[in-house]
Each structure stands twice: as C-alpha cells, then as structure tokens.
Amino acid sequence: ARGACEAANAIGAVVDAILVGHSPDADLRRIVTATEGQCFSISHLGEGFELLESEAVVSLKARRGGAEKPPFVPRQVDFRAIAQREIIQGSNVPRVNDSTKERYAGAKVLSLASVESCNKATPLGPGAVKRVLSELKQLGESSARGIHIFPSEDISFWRVLLEGHPDSPFVGGIFAVDIVLPNDYPFKPPKINFHTPIYHCNVNTNGAICLDILKDSWSPSLSVFKCLESIRALMADPNPDDAMRQWIAELTLAHKQSNGADTRYFDQ
C-alpha cells in the first residue's frame, strides 16, 4: 500500500475508490486521502452505474468547479499518518458546482407580457438581443402547451417550467429548466439544463441534456422554443442509443422491448 501511494504521488495521480461491502480497506482509504481523491460506497448495482456516470465523479475539472488543472508538484507523505478518507454514499454524490447557476441564482424573472421591460444591459450582442426579443414576442403571442417561459431582466437567462408529457412517466410533474444564451446567439446553441432532477437516460445527474440540436446539429434557423419542444418530446421518447446514464437506458430498452410489461423504468 505504501508503494502504491508513493507511485501515485510521484506522478500526481488522483485515486478514487468505490467500496462494496461493509469492511472498507483502511490502507486504500489512506491512498485516496493522500492523492486528494474521493471514496464512494454503493449498495446495489444501479447505484454503481449512476455513480460511474456522474459528472462529479468522472470529471476532475467539474470537481474543481471548472478551474484548470493546478501545476504538478510531487507530493511526499507519511503513509501511516494519513487519515482514512471519509466515505460518500453513491446516491449522495452532489451536483458539480456550476458557476453559471450561481451567477443567475438571484435573477428576477418577468412574464412574457412584460418582456419589453427586460434590461438591455446584457452580455448579448446587439444582433442577439434583437433575435431574442423577437423570439420572446412570438412566444407571448402564441399558446405553448406544456411550456411556460419566464425571461429574466437580463434576457440572456430564462427560467422555464415544463409539464411532464402526457405520454410519459412524467405526466403530472412540473420540471424547472434553466436556459443561458451565448453572447453570439443564434450562431451558437443555448445552454439548457434541468434544474429539477429527472430520472431519464438522456439527462445526467447535473441536469445536462444529450440532444443533437443542442450540440452539433444546432442551426441559427432553430429557436429556443424548438429546443424546448424537442426536450419535452425526448421526455416521452427517450433515446437509449445516445444515453448519458446507461443504467436507465437499459431499463428503458427493457420496457420498450417487453411492450410495457417490464415496468422497472416507470417504477423508479
């Protein structure tokens, strides 16, 4: 154990541990402490899958709140003097720190009817402001079933409430969604995240959504509303082939392939 710790420290490696059972190895927990890693415990296979796909686990940059990797400094430690790393239950892994959400945490939202009073002092460029105001005006003049949009005083940030699709396990639910528009919108896609946790194979534990039009398939001819419609459709028809949470994808496939007889996905 001492040799493993010295080898990890010599190259600046970060060692995480996933513990199964009720007798965690003390030396392993010391290695995790020495390398500034995390120690997790799981009680069932599903929790293990969720843990391995959690952004807070797989991304060191996410753990650092988006900060860059610090310069490498060889570490020397007294192995026996190292405290054993505390154990985090896999189901209790927190969401990663999102500076964007912190920035808009106290944002005051407006109704679509009062969109003209939005603060034009926004990081968006003039072209983006014109486009966003046009989209918001169109939304105010239409009836968007199941989608309720509340722009903030800074129109680069919107809050949205999505009603669970009637043809999905989420029927009757209300899901909060945050939208941040890039400075050069619509030439880059909006950043859309679920604020309300949702049990869905295409949404990770941090609320990020795996949807093609939010990535490479984005086009300036699309709109925020089109993205929201697609997200709501995705809630009713998940895409297991492009999953962010493979364990839920397996349950989704089992439900579809059994013509609804396998209800584990719906029962979660």
pLDDT of residue 43: 82
Distance in angstroms (rounded) separating the CA atoms of residues 100 and 147:
23
Upstream peptide bond of 94 is cis (omega within 30 degrees of 0): no
CATH class of 100-255: alpha beta
> Which residues in the chain come in under a pLDDT of 70?
55-56, 58, 76, 91, 93-107, 110-121, 141-143, 259-268
Amino acid at 133: L
Instruction: Give the strands of the sheet with 39-42, arranged side by side.
Output: 17-20, 39-42, 87-89
Q: What's the pLDDT at 51?
A: 79
Instruction: Identify the pLDDT of residue 244.
Output: 87
List the beta bridge partners of residue 160. 149, 177
3-state DSSP call for residue 101? helix
Which residues are part of the catalytic machinery?
A: 210
Q: Output the six-digit token pair for 117.
A: 């009073």
What pLDDT digit, counting tens, does each position of 75-113 carry? 767 777 788 888 888 767 666 555 566 666 666 776 666
Q: Which amino acid is at 34?
A: A
Domain chopping of the chain, boundaries: 2-97, 100-255
Give residue-wise pLDDT tens across range 46-71.
Answer: 778 777 777 667 677 777 777 788 88
Contact 136, 112 (CB under 8 A): yes
> How many Å apart are CA 204 and CA 226, to the nearest integer?
21
Closest CA to 122 of 180, 194, 187, 186: 180
Of 96, 106, 103, nearest in space to 66 by CA: 96
Q: Which secondary-structure segment (H or E) carries 179? A: strand 174-180
